[in-house]
Amino acid sequence: MYWLVALLSLAILGLIVSGILLELRPSLAVRIRPWYRPALGTQLVAFVGAQFGLLLLGMQDAFAVTETAAAAGAATEMSTGMGLAIIGAGIPTGLSTIGAGIAVGPIGAASLAAITEKPEILGRTLIYLGLAEGIAIYGLVISILLLNKI
């Protein structure tokens, strides 16, 4: 299992180093072009292969349950109703953040355009952005209240 983690780490490190090297010295891209694509392809294949290896070989470690954990888990077993209740408590946060994102996009674009023409209305536009962001906070508060009821 450790060899998979090492392979995964080396693949990620190779991608990072090659990205930094090509960012700092873009003239190297012309000279290394013949082997650049195969090297990145090999690293990508190693990365994906290591991910699947960790998934398949790591399942035994994840599913291995000691007797003490099994005894402790039996007392705190979660029912289907409790799982659905927790999912239901998280839905307000998810939907409110989606709504806030939809609201902030046009408001931010309009406020940038307005500030470009009249810089003195910056405070007013920040208030409108804050009101749009408040939608997400309201959803979070509702989720916290629902979690306290569970």
Q: What is the DSSP string of 81-97?
A: HHHHHHHHHHHHHHHHH
The highest-confidence range among 63-67, 74-78, 87-91, by mean pLDDT, is 87-91
What is the domain extent for residue 129?
A: 78-149
Cα separation, 76 vs 26, whole angstroms: 57
**pLDDT single digits (tens) 99-121:** 999 999 999 999 999 999 999 99
Contact 53, 4 (CB under 8 A): yes
Same domain, yes or no: 86 and 135: yes
What one-character DSSP code corresponds to residue 66? Answer: -
Q: What is the pLDDT of residue 97?
A: 92
CA dihedral 101, 103, 105, 109 (to 10 degrees): -160
Do 144 and 129 lie in a common domain? Answer: yes
Last residue of a domain, one of 73, 105, 133: 73
pTM to 2 decimals?
0.47
